[in-house]
Structure 1
């Protein structure tokens, strides 16, 4: 679904990723891990075509992301940022409807198919009853579900999320990640999200991408645990793994 080919990312002389390659599968939930400042957000932005690589390519649907026009890109990949969104004067249904922008005419008019997509997206995230509510009166978890619904309404095969659990408590983090996994499997989406929650990533996600500057490791979760890459990267935090239960233990 997404392929990184000899990709180098960085700022000036600072190299975050150096000549890395990886293939990210569809129909799976993928966690992007790494220490603070290692380039997780930069990599997600590069996948969105918002950050220009120093060299190499990001291939989406067999096309170089850099060569895609904005409308074509918007029909293939959607992005949920880490920012808290609080829109006081816009109903949740209208926020989700913004995801249909790549498909509407120049007036932004929604057709019958667009309305069906919006309704279905809200149903998939369990927010159908919130259509007429405004996000300024909702919890962080509820708002995050609305933003995921907007991405679903955009109807892209790839969804990227930058730390979607950052402002949630632990039960809501698990609930949101379980929702993402269900959407990846049932809707056959490639869903990639950055996170610092190792335990959630290893217990829920199908695939792990790990940034250890300037390297990137991309493996199925069980293989990533067995490789020892995560334990080496986070060794200062005394992390150990139960390989059978796929659990993280921090001493």
Structure 2
């Protein structure tokens, strides 16, 4: 299976030669087309830093990020906007835009920021809103949305870009349990039925175990990657999850609270 994105000896962190802070180094990983990959790890381990780096939102400190056959630094912003859709955790400043207008900004790589939307563009935006379940909010002002609704709006914006690769940082944050399940199932269907490659970070560990094709397990020491079933079978997930009073069951892919 040909990799759509590959990380080789990657170092992530902040700063340059002076005041440099390394979050992790020696990262080796790949994303495969048509698969949903979940990035899991404890708070503060560097998941958002990794996502921002491979999205080219912040510079890497070393190593390679290959997107197809090209190093990611060789792409222009316009080129990347047609290849990668990104939803980060920052709150967008969108007080004077409707939900439809905000989602329609996902079409700007094709129309230009002030470009006119064609009928096809409007159809794509409407379909993106429908896919995340907020088509009824299209006329609402974006600044009036709840945290969960805003998260769905930003996901719709990324889907409207119609990129083959999508990165999402905590897309199920602030959602109720049913909406979390629907969102992850929708993203998996986009991979399996539409050939998209999606990487998302999540703290919804049990849902990720049951829905993700592949996992990137991030510890403070390294990034471990592989198919979800394989990481369950070889004990990786048990070593990552098991703590006092918590046990991972690899046969049911569930997490149990146990008496100590």
Q: Same fold (TM over 0.5)?
A: yes
| Structure 1 segments of 4+ aligned residues over 4 angstroms from their partners | none
Q: Cα distance, 1:85 vs. partner?
A: 4.9
Q: Give the CA RMSD over aligned residues.
A: 2.1
Q: Cα distance, 1:60 vs. partner?
A: 1.2
Q: Cα distance, 1:61 vs. partner?
A: 2.4
Residue 238 to residue 27, structure 1, CA distance change in 2 (3 Å): farther
Q: Aligned ranges for residues 45-194 of structure 1 at < 5 Å?
A: 45-85=52-92, 87-105=94-112, 107-194=114-201
**Contiguous gaps of at least 5 residues in structure 2:** none
Q: Distance in 2 between matches of 1:2 and 1:237?
A: 37
Q: Cα distance, 1:128 vs. partner?
A: 2.7
Residue 69 to residue 86, structure 1, CA distance change in 2 (3 Å): closer
Per-residue CA distance 1:110-151 (angstroms, 9 max, x = gap): 233322321222232233332212234444333322211110
Aligned residues: 251
Q: Distance in 2 between matches of 1:59 and 1:249?
A: 39
Q: Cα distance, 1:216 vs. partner?
A: 1.0
Give the corresponding residue for 1:225. Answer: 232
Q: Cα distance, 1:14 vs. partner?
A: 4.4
Per-residue CA distance 1:173-193 (angstroms, 9 max, x = gap): 222222222222222211111
State the TM-score, normalized to the length of structure 1: 0.90
Residue 199 to residue 237, structure 1, CA distance change in 2 (3 Å): farther
Per-residue CA distance 1:194-251 (angstroms, 9 max, x = gap): 1122111101111100112331111111111123223323443543222222112233
Q: Distance in 2 between matches of 1:237 and 1:203?
A: 23
Give the corresponding residue for 2:30. Answer: 23
Q: Distance in 1 between matches of 2:242 and 2:13?
A: 25
Q: Cα distance, 1:58 vs. partner?
A: 0.9
Q: Distance in 1 between matches of 2:249 and 2:31?
A: 25
